[in-house]
Amino acid sequence: MSILPNILEVVIKYNIKHKQSGVRTTEYYAICPFCNNGGYTFQFNTEKNTFICNRANHCGKRGGVIELITLLSCETKEQVVERLRKQKGLGERKALKYFHPAMAIPIVTLKEMGFVVKNLNWYESFKKDPEHARRELNWIWHEYKEYCKKVEIRRRAILKLFDYLVTLKGMDKLIECLTS
């Protein structure tokens, strides 16, 4: 059970005009509530629960669903988390006792990392065996940090290769290499 609402629910609650991307069902575009530019430059993903303003010279706003709620409601992160806990019926002590950063990793990411995920309920795991759940979460958190490093290294290598090919062969040759 997560205390985090879906980012689409937050966008609807704050009456932000939005539309679904034609390519992916989890991608949406909206009029940025912070830029006031009138264009659909505010992109959010319901699967990852993240947002970013993609406008040139954009407002620089980006983050997760908690960050979006804090910006829209003018509350601190602590106030937002406390309000969400109360809405889900979790008291202060219970929520803090069972929280670990690995619990916030999206299930999609866990699957990409190779974990088999079925009926993931960390709160139940903590009730049954808190020490085992804590060890498991620490291990998942360590693996997640390593996974993020590998993804970033791959991304940088691809960009470096792309830049090298563009400068070496020119754009026409690059397109020819990629299509052959």
**Model's pTM, two decimal places?**
0.50
pLDDT, averaged across the chain: 78
* Four-residue CA torsion sign, 15, 105, 88, 78: negative
Q: Any idea where the domains of the chain sit in the sequence? A: 1-91, 98-180
Q: 146-159 pLDDT, tens per residue? A: 888 888 888 787 77
Helices (H), 20-129: 65-73, 77-88, 92-97, 107-112, 122-128
**pLDDT digits over 70-129, tens only?**
888 888 888 888 888 888 776 554 444 556 777 777 777 888 888 877 667 777 777 788
Are 84 and 3 a contacting pair, CB within 8 Å? yes
Angle between helices 77-88 and 65-73 (to 10 degrees): 110
More confident call, 166 vs 130: 130
> Which percentage of the chain shows pLDDT scores above 90?
0
Q: Please determine, looking at this structure, whether the domain spanning 1-91 carries the CATH number 3.10.400.10.
A: no
pLDDT of residue 72: 87
Share of the chain above pLDDT 70, in %: 77
- 41: confidence class by pLDDT, cuts 50, 70, 90: confident
Question: Of 143 and 104, which is predicted with more confidence?
Answer: 143
pLDDT of residue 156: 81
Instruction: Identify the helix (H) or strand (E) that includes residue 98.
Output: none
107 in Cβ contact with 117 (< 8 Å): yes
Residue 2 — pLDDT band, cuts 50, 70, 90? low
